[in-house]
Amino acid sequence: MQPMEGKDPLIIAIDGPAASGKSTVARRVAAELGLVFVSSGEMYRAFAWWVTSKRVDPSDAVAVVDLLVRTDFVCGEKEGLGTVAVGGVPMTRAELSAPEVNAAVSAVAAIPEVRERLVAEQRRYGLERGVVMEGRDIGSVVFPDTPHKFYIDASPEVREARRRAEGIADSIAKRDRIDSSRSASPLVVPDGALVVDSSELSVDEVVARVLAAVREPARR
């Protein structure tokens, strides 16, 4: 399967709650298919980092939007992975997963103007080259027309345990609550998505299911 089928880029949308394993799976699927892997969450995290580093209160939507309109995003690619620079600062893993970013990101991502801006960046980027993009609204809002939609789930206990094992302080239950109940693009199972519960499956098994469904959509 080629990254561009005919003239349409191949777009694979993977959604799911925090620590469901979707980014590990998406990264592997992208490598298998020769597509760029994009974590849309990194874009929200990058902006949340910018907000906190500018000492703007993440719950003050007016101040956050005021900063947003003065901020540049540059989305690029390095070795098959999407990269993001915000305000001219290239983001590293340390910044994106900092505790203050975990605490601020869901409030920032619930602001409609922030979503509108980042969704436009995500669409432009994906349509230029073909991607495996993961997030909360990729199949429902960003690329609703792709036939390749997946929702990777896992029980709350398994997800909390995975995050603890990574040694990351993260209030998953709180983020889930905000992400699922917000009015702008809440986390939902997109229409037509194949739901995979990864609680009892290995990464290899989840990747195999996704690849099989991409290669033979009629059999899913």
Q: Which residues bind ligand CDP (CB under 6 A)?
A: 18-19, 23, 39-41, 44-45, 105-106, 109, 135-138, 175, 179
- Rounded least distance, CB 215 to ligand CDP, Å: 25
Q: For tokens 């990194």, what's the residue? A: 42
Q: What residues contact residue 193 under an 8 Å CB cut-off, 6+ apart?
A: 13, 15, 139, 149, 150, 151
Please say which residue, 45 or 149, places its beta carbon nearer to ligand CDP: 45
Between helix 172-181 and helix 99-109 the angle, nearest 10°, is 10
| Cβ–Cβ under 8 Å, residues 57 and 63 | yes
d(CA 140, CA 181): 15
Please say which residue, 23 or 198, places its beta carbon nearer to ligand CDP: 23
DSSP state of 136: S
Please say which residue, 6 or 98, places its beta carbon nearer to ligand CDP: 98
Please say which residue, 174 or 215, places its beta carbon nearer to ligand CDP: 174
